[in-house]
Structure 1
Amino acid sequence: MPARASYANGPSSTPLLGETIGACLRRIAAEHPDREALVVRHQSVRWTYAELEARVARLASGLLRRGIAAGDRVGIWAPNGAEWVLAQYATATVGAILVNVNPAYRTHELAYALRQSGVRLLLSAARFKTSDYRAMVDEVAGGLPALEEAIVLGDPAWEALAGTDVDAAAVAERLASLDPDDPINIQYTSGTTGFPKGATLTHHNILNNGLSVGALCGYGAEDRICVPVPFYHCFGMVMGNLAALAHGACIVVPAPAFEPAATLEAVAAERCTSLYGVPTMFIAMLGDPGFATHDLSSLRTGIMAGSPCPTEVMRRVVDEMHMAEVSICYGMTETSPVSTQTRRDDPLERRVGTIGRVGPHLEVKVVDPEGRTVPRGEVGELCTRGYSVMRGYWEDPEKTAEAIDAAGWMHTGDLATMDEQGYLNVVGRAKDMVIRGGENVYPREVEEFLYTHPDIADAQVVGVPDERYGEELCAWIQVREGAAPLDADGVRAFCADRLAHFKVPRYVVCGEPFPMTVTGKVQKNLMRERSVELLGLSAAAATA
């Protein structure tokens, strides 16, 4: 009898939503007008669905009055806050494509994202942590011909835009003209070619992914979801905001960015039923000095994603945080993002040893290098197909064709196995992506940037094991002839103001010969092994 193929699909009795995000907001607000929709603790915001819809209508009217057309790009560069949520729903209501800009970006990355996507209007925080957003926007604006205006959140221009008198007829007319398959969001993923690629997602992509993820978490209108993960990423804006919207639940935002104590306080004070985070966030919360003082008994579920969860951490999350139904999710920005998920009744070993089973209305398969589906238990590349697959990379048909094949399968670049019950396990990465604390970093992007250093002749970047973040970046450097040796401090100083902090190499190896094949190709696997030896990371490697 032939072995079963590594293929599975997700049958579901729950139909997909055939509506736009704006239409969904109107429907849910009509069904649950007095239920809390959004609580932002650091801003003292507490809005019902009726209040949220009314504020979205004001901002949508302001965008229309400014001449924003369907398909125009509007950027948002800010940490988590009420304004981010308003921008997400208002742009969707008028059909503008929201371009998410990572709050950690510096000028080099900001300018690229705004230029490549052709952002016409940028909504920006004034500053965040050590970043002066206003100054950075001023620095790059001259090289962005499409950018007509940058509005700083909280400034009078923002208050005027967000407080525009509602033009109900104009908003309704625009909303009625939109289609669920219209692109509505661009999210930049670190690129293997040296520059990020703009994954372009539709209403249908992300609204239905939120619906499906929430359904597998068992969400209903009474749920309160604590979201300390960033909105600029699919984890926050889809698995958080849109999962809540699709089920009429409430989003609770503890702080502008993750803070363990603030998150624990929010869960206890708001009686949250669900909590999100990458494993390092849960580790930080469990290790917080005040952990035992918080009543977390309202929790029942949540999502852990971004990187594998150690067994002991998962056990403590279930036992000490009361998250008996916590779910593991796997996916990528290009798939809106979730493709596989563990179920509420899965045993602990499934949640720490697998990435779950295929989600509703989706297909997955594991293929060999020739594209043939391998038997169950064999290693191959994980592919996914269905409603969640992006429209493509923004204005990059060549890269889109490399990622999505003629049959509509998205090739993830991850190596995986599928067992007899359909559970998948990622065993490696076909690409060289490094996952640092849940942030995806492609070494080539960092390498291309390092090449701009006047003293660097060649640079190679690999991931090395780290006990806290899972992986850290290590840059191997060859300096130009006659240049002084570079150390880690010098390289980090060069990167600090122009690359996001998680892309700045923690380690630098200078002057070591690059391990090469006979054909002259750098052997990154040997480079990683040698880095562990040179940097004394054997202990971290043993726990990875």
Structure 2
Amino acid sequence: MTLADTTGPHLTADRLWDLVAARARATPDGLLVVDERRRRMTFAGFRDAVERTAAGFAARGVREGTVVSWQLPSRIETMVLTFALSRLGAVQNPMVMMLREREVEFICRQVGAELLIVPEEFRGHGHGAMARTVAGRLPALEILVTDGTLPEADPAGLPPEPVGPPARWVFYTSGTTSDPKGARHTDAGLVAAATTYCRHVGPGPDDRIAALAPIAHVGGVLHVLSALMSGAGLILTDAFEPAATARLLSEEGVTYGGNGTPFVQAFLREQRKDPTRRLFPHLKAFLIGGAPRPESLHQETREVLGGRGIASGYGLTECPFFAWGSPLADDRTMATTEGRPGPGARARIVRPDGGLAGTGERGELWLKAPQLMVGYVDSALDAEAFDSDGWFRTGDLAFLDEQGCLTITGRIKDVIIRNMENISAREVEDELVTYPGLRDSTVVGLRDPATGERVCAVVVPENSSAPPTLDGVCAHLLARGLNRRKLPEQLEIVDELPRNAMGKVVKAALAEQLTKAGPGAGRPLA
């Protein structure tokens, strides 16, 4: 398929409901979403469902300013709920499905939730029972347990469209720290983030986008917004199963795949099962973010899966979709960068001494952007996050090239200090991921009485009966050009890595479990 430059005008609006209404007028019969059960919804059908559901919740007492927390799988009904609450002006707090009782209670208490919406059960976990336990400790909290159906009523009874308060969204970081942090966002900020995606990626009405990020994550909501802005259709599933998801994407003619490095690697394995038949014949590019990737993954994706390869993006819960790559860029830019910041967004690279880094010089990424949060729910966290001029300190190490493209090189806190020497875990990971026969891998620092920390490679082999050896891994890394001083001293074989909803390895939990277990005691960690 020829890749056209579709970065022309897209619909936009300051409020999400206005965008829903505008898209329904512009392309009423266009496909918004198809799910794994092959249910379909048009843009006009979405608008109508949102209005009926908004009226249903209004009849239950939800109104402008009502704080609603919800934890629901990625389903069409969840998309409808999200925009129904937006239509009413509720303050909504989506929570990803991986969160459990402690985190759910902490979040509901901190945001002052008045209503919590959950399924009775999902993938073996009793969310309904959990919600009832949480509500027992938070007397002001009501719960709604749903099997997928949502309350509906006649839209004629809907109240007028709200004009405030401006910050109606609270997204929490993925729980990799002891207490998640809630980032407060506005409709306009989310629209700015989706604008970055649409301007740089350039989807259009003929495109089908793999929406594999959870709807409850800010990236999931932004996929819906991007579809509303561009007229593209989403392919949605509530659980990622490599073979079944690949079949769904193939049958629905996916043009933009996603969502992160582990997803791409899973699809590469599926494609190699039958090299004679393209899984995704209409593919334009894979769009990824949220995890390290080696440069070679771009070319491998291009050769094996087709299309232009990988276009990567960068963002945080606090500032989503800050930058995106373009499928029209040259191979070097696509393989090594996260693209350019979006409209109105600015990046600053700060050296350890506080000075500004030059082109190609690494430092901490500070940023300002229209999609930057207005602050944390716990405002005491803002002083450390922002400087006096409003620049947000990301904690990510990065540099800008001569084209203004951003490359992330690691995390300030993801440095292993061995014998007083700093070793970037990401640098080792970028080469480890190329070792043949690995389904998944990461690198963590473990406490060591002699050296302070030691480098530990943790891998999930494709064939558990023939796992790699430490000597074999080190030989491969040396052949890839890794400095001998950065080689792993320990190798752990596990069945699965603990990952959060966006595919990032929860390194703190992994290191803690490996430390407690002792060397050579790798085991299932999920």
The answer to whether TM tops 0.5 is yes
Structure number with the bigger relative contact order (C-alpha 8 A, sep ≥ 6) is 1
Deviations, residues 122-175 of structure 1 (Å, cap 9, x unaligned): 221221112111111122221123312323233xxx44x1x222235x34x1x2
- What is the aligned partner in structure 2 of residue 40 from structure 1? 35
Cα distance between partner residues in 2 of 1:400 and 1:191: 18
Say whether residues 1:362 and 2:345 are aligned partners: yes
1:391 partner amino acid? V
Say whether residues 1:62 and 2:45 are aligned partners: no
Of 183, 196, 220, the match for 2:167: 183
Task: Choose 362-371 or 276-285, whichever is displaced more.
Answer: 362-371
Number of aligned residue pairs: 443
Of 144, 150, 171, the match for 2:144: 150
Say whether residues 1:410 and 2:392 are aligned partners: yes
2:269 partner amino acid? G
Say whether residues 1:305 and 2:289 are aligned partners: yes
Question: Post-superposition shift, 1:27?
Answer: 0.5
2:383 partner amino acid? A
Question: Post-superposition shift, 1:54?
Answer: 0.5
Question: Post-superposition shift, 1:274?
Answer: 1.2
CA contact (8 A) 1:229 1:258 kept: no
Q: Give the CA RMSD over aligned residues.
A: 3.3
Q: Match of 2:155, SS? A: coil
Of 176, 186, 191, the match for 1:207: 191
Question: Post-superposition shift, 1:16?
Answer: 9.6
Cα distance between partner residues in 1 of 2:47 and 2:298: 37
Cα distance between partner residues in 2 of 1:64 and 1:401: 37
CA contact (8 A) 2:8 2:202 kept: no
CA contact (8 A) 2:196 2:342 kept: yes
Cα distance between partner residues in 1 of 2:340 and 2:169: 26
CA contact (8 A) 1:83 1:153 kept: no
Cα distance between partner residues in 2 of 1:192 and 1:432: 13
Cα distance between partner residues in 2 of 1:200 and 1:318: 38
1:359 partner amino acid? G
CA contact (8 A) 2:311 2:326 kept: yes
* TM-score normalised to structure 2 length: 0.76
Question: Post-superposition shift, 1:281?
Answer: 0.8
Could you tell me the percent identity over the aligned residues? Answer: 28
CA contact (8 A) 1:280 1:468 kept: no
Q: Match of 1:333, SS? A: coil
Of 317, 322, 326, the match for 1:333: 317
Of 217, 220, 223, the match for 2:207: 223
Residue correspondence of structure 1 range 203-352 to structure 2 within 5 A: 203-238=187-222, 240-253=223-236, 255-288=237-270, 292=275, 293=277, 295-324=279-308, 326-335=310-319, 337-352=320-335
Say whether residues 1:30 and 2:25 are aligned partners: yes
Of 348, 369, 381, the match for 1:399: 381
Q: Match of 1:184, SS? A: strand
Cα distance between partner residues in 2 of 1:16 and 1:387: 17
Question: Post-superposition shift, 1:13?
Answer: 9.6
Cα distance between partner residues in 1 of 2:90 and 2:112: 12
Deviations, residues 204-232 of structure 1 (Å, cap 9, x unaligned): 11122112202211111222112122222
Cα distance between partner residues in 1 of 2:265 and 2:517: 37
2:333 partner amino acid? R
2:34 partner amino acid? V
In structure 2, the CA distance between the partners of 1:463 and 1:205, relative to structure 1 (3 Å rule), is farther
- What is the aligned partner in structure 2 of residue 109 from structure 1? 103
Cα distance between partner residues in 2 of 1:26 and 1:225: 21
1:466 partner amino acid? V
CA contact (8 A) 1:303 1:329 kept: yes
Q: Match of 1:334, SS? A: coil
Residue correspondence of structure 1 range 492-503 to structure 2 within 5 A: none
Q: Match of 1:421, SS? A: coil
Residue correspondence of structure 1 range 353-502 to structure 2 within 5 A: 353-369=336-352, 371-394=354-377, 396-432=378-414, 464-467=456-459
Cα distance between partner residues in 2 of 1:383 and 1:206: 19
User: Any gaps of 5 or more consecutive residues in structure 2?
Assistant: 1-6, 416-424, 434-439, 445-451, 462-491, 497-503
